[in-house]
A = this chain, B = another copy of it.
Amino acid sequence: MSLRHALLGLLAHGPASGYDLTRAFEGGIGQYAWQAGHSRIYPELGKMTEAGLVVVDEAGPRGRKTYTLTDDGRTELRRWMLHWPEQATVRNETVLRMFLVQSLEPDDARALLEGMAEHCARERDALRAVMDADDAEHRPGDPLPFGRLAGEYGIRQYEAVQGWAQWSLERLAAGEPVR
């Protein structure tokens, strides 16, 4: 049930409404870590309120509700962050394609791997540019923007996929039958 923990983690940076949290999932966290839409977020915030992990400050225009972490919520977040299971939930279409590349004809496999390498090179450059811009704005002593550390991982991740695709292309080019 990681949506709950994603919400706890976002609220650890300060109070937010369901609408704010929905916007947050449109950024990097939704693209790289965990997806969620408002229709799932609102009911989950309701359950978390019942469970005493968050409280509502009912005060805002248009019926806006602002949620704040409770001590129990912060404790639960810390527990989840530090005690991770050996087998974490993983669902990744890109890695699935990596497993299944050996089910394609050599020409198709080559096309897939070349496409992946190009895509990752482009995404890596784009993310590098965003992170460089963040760093340029950043004054020493200020807190890092949310997701700055994870962004650095994103760059390394794209480089890993790109390097892997090139390594795989070399194995294909060497005439090694991959299936």
- Which residues does A use to contact B, with CB under 8 Å? 2, 5-6, 9-10, 12-13, 28-29, 31-35, 77-78, 81-82, 84, 87-104, 108, 111-112, 115, 140-144, 146-150, 152-153, 156-157, 159-161, 163-164, 167-168, 171, 176-179
Contact = CB atoms under 8 A, between A and B. Distances in A.
Contacts of A115: 82, 84
Contact of A33 (B90, B103, B149): B90
Contacts of A102: 13, 144, 146-149
B100 A9 contact: yes
Contacts of A148: 102, 178
A160 B153 contact: yes
User: How many copies, total?
Assistant: 2
B89 A2 contact: no
28 contacts: A2-B91, A9-B99, A9-B100, A13-B103, A28-B99, A33-B98, A33-B99, A34-B91, A34-B92, A34-B93, A35-B90, A77-B103, A81-B101, A81-B103, A81-B108, A82-B115, A84-B115, A88-B93, A89-B92, A89-B93, A101-B150, A102-B149, A143-B177, A143-B178, A143-B179, A146-B179, A156-B163, A156-B164
A87 to B, nearest CB: 7
User: Would you call the interface of chain A mostly helix, strand, loop, or mixed?
Assistant: helix
A81 B84 CA distance: 32
Contacts of A92: 32-34, 88-92
Contacts of A98: 33, 149-150, 153
